[in-house]
Amino acid sequence: MTVAEPYRIKSVEPLRMSTRAEREAAIDRAGWNTFLLDSDDVYIDLLTDSGTNAMSDRQWSALMLGDEAYAGARSFYRMRDAVRETYGFEHMVPTHQGRGAEHLISKILIKEGQYVPGNMYFTTTRVHQELAGGTFVDIIIDEAHDSRAQHPFKGNVDLGKLEALIGQVGAANIAYVNIATTVNMAGGQPVSMANLRATSELCHRNGILLWCDATRAVENAYFIRQREEGYADTPVRAILREMMSHVDGVTMSAKKDALVNIGGFLAMRDESILQRARELVVVYEGMPTYGGLAGRDMDAIAQGLREMVDDDYIAHRIYQVRYLGERLLDAGVPIVEPIGGHAVFLDARRFLAHLDQELFPAQALAGHLYVDSGVRSMERGIVSAGRDPHTGANRKPALELVRLTIPRRVYTDRHLDVVAESVIGLHQHREDIRGLRMVYEPPTLRFFTARFEPL
């Protein structure tokens, strides 16, 4: 059944079309890194769903209510109340975006030499854990590393892996467990409520805190509603509250679920963690009542937090991602299955089976997709995984992916048809695609600014 947009368009932003010759020049200027392309050179921008959302008329109106007082702004209290209402956490410290919150919690909870288990790494999350002296340990179920494995909750924690780690290093050497909902690097795959509950019990039985990356938790809640026994008639807002009842606090990038262009926060129940967060946030972000945000940003977030749990909104959001995924599957294009919550991920290993991972197949495919149709996507493979900080060797993730990320409320299904046609065309001529050579490699988070040349 068709699920149409539960909104209509009030304001439009013209897109610039380009020629193939212009795009060939642009990708060379960008060192074959889609992060280094100018927005003006992009037709359909599926680089990320982060901060690229369309705000509603109510959010734009909320901007005017922003209280720009340096301290104690009304906007802060409105955002705090919205966090209490939607997630159920008493305390909240705003940050400029998600990684600001990751920085704070890593500094607060990690002691040098401790381990931080999580259900697959995320780039910025792991970097902050490592900078704080921690070591990330992957405890996601094995199915998550296999793009073809059919599992309704591929983001689940493998409780056996977590238990084994606790047995091996001792609970005192685990800073906290970090559970992501949905799991970005696994293809936007959700965690089940049963798994969240069981992970929470295991952690708390061992005196370990369970923290959650709630960046896309609403999308996760919708998958629980669709796929987990007993939730079919539960409103998404209630599922989200139940999910959050199992964790001690969250880091949040409001640039995703919360339908804004900038912002984030750290939220928690424990007052002593709040105290530490308030001490640190003034050093790195700003006063505890604005944390790097303008008052108007906090008001836009407060309104976005209420819109994100609207059942019609989230049903369409997930439907639209599935629409693109199913068009590709029908044409035999290899993608990560099941289709995730925020993006369709092309499986570059199978798409470009003739290219070794050291030739950066996903990076090359993202470049060719751009040249073909002006569609900007993102590599999520060997370049994103970076190097092991101890050995210096390239990490070679099992998943070598190109992410086609769908911004919220921005593109129509017709845009996605253009994307699908371009991907399908490339797949038909995939043998023509050659690998890349890295010619500039920055020391951390290399995928953002690395440069490549075609072989």
CB 258 within 8 Å of CB 308: yes
Does 48 interact with ligand F0G (rule: CB under 6 A)?
A: yes
DSSP string, 355-387: S-GGG-HHHHHHHHHHHHHSEE-EEESHHHH-B
CB 215 within 8 Å of CB 178: no
For the record, the structure tokens of 336 come out as 């990560």
Q: Which of 213, 219, 297, 347 binds ligand F0G (CB under 6 A)?
A: 213
The enclosing H or E element of 105 equals helix 98-109
Q: Which of 92, 110, 132, 180 binds ligand F0G (CB under 6 A)?
A: 180
Q: Which is nearer to ligand F0G, 48 or 200 (CB)?
A: 48
Q: Which of 189, 253, 357, 373 binds ligand F0G (CB under 6 A)?
A: 253
Residue nearest to ligand F0G (CB): 98
Q: Which of 255, 316, 317, 327 binds ligand F0G (CB under 6 A)?
A: 255
Catalytic residue among 126, 256, 349, 430: 256
Q: Is 124 a catalytic residue?
A: no
Catalytic residue among 48, 123, 125, 182: 123
Closest CA to 57 of 105, 10, 96: 10
Report strand pairing: 177-180 vs 210-213: parallel
Does 34 interact with ligand F0G (rule: CB under 6 A)?
A: no
Cβ of residue 252: shortest distance to ligand F0G, in angstroms? 8
Cβ of residue 115: shortest distance to ligand F0G, in angstroms? 19
Burial group, residue 443, by CB count within 10 angstroms (0-12, 13-18, 19+)? exposed
The one-letter amino acid at 303: Q
Catalytic residue among 28, 57, 70, 449: 70
Residue 335 pairs with which residues in a beta bridge? 346
Site residues (CB under 6 A) for ligand F0G, limited to 120-149: 122, 124-125
Cβ of residue 184: shortest distance to ligand F0G, in angstroms? 4
Closest CA to 243 of 210, 290, 204, 270: 210
Q: Is 107 a catalytic residue?
A: no
Cβ of residue 48: shortest distance to ligand F0G, in angstroms? 3
CB 278 within 8 Å of CB 228: no
Q: Hey, CA dihedral for 128, 130, 131, 132, is it positive or negative?
A: positive
Does 119 interact with ligand F0G (rule: CB under 6 A)?
A: no
Does 98 interact with ligand F0G (rule: CB under 6 A)?
A: yes
Q: Is 70 a catalytic residue?
A: yes
The one-letter amino acid at 441: E
Q: Which is nearer to ligand F0G, 180 or 366 (CB)?
A: 180
Closest CA to 253 of 194, 208, 308: 308
Does 190 interact with ligand F0G (rule: CB under 6 A)?
A: no
Residue 179 pairs with which residues in a beta bridge? 212
3-class state of residue 138 by DSSP = strand
Among 59-67, 95-103, 150-158, 445-453, the segment contacting ligand F0G (CB under 6 A): 95-103
Q: Is 396 a catalytic residue?
A: no
Q: Is 447 a catalytic residue?
A: yes
Q: Which residues are catalytic?
A: 70, 122-123, 213, 256, 380, 447
Q: Which residues bind ligand F0G (CB under 6 A)?
A: 48, 50, 97-99, 122, 124-125, 180, 184, 213, 215, 253, 255, 264
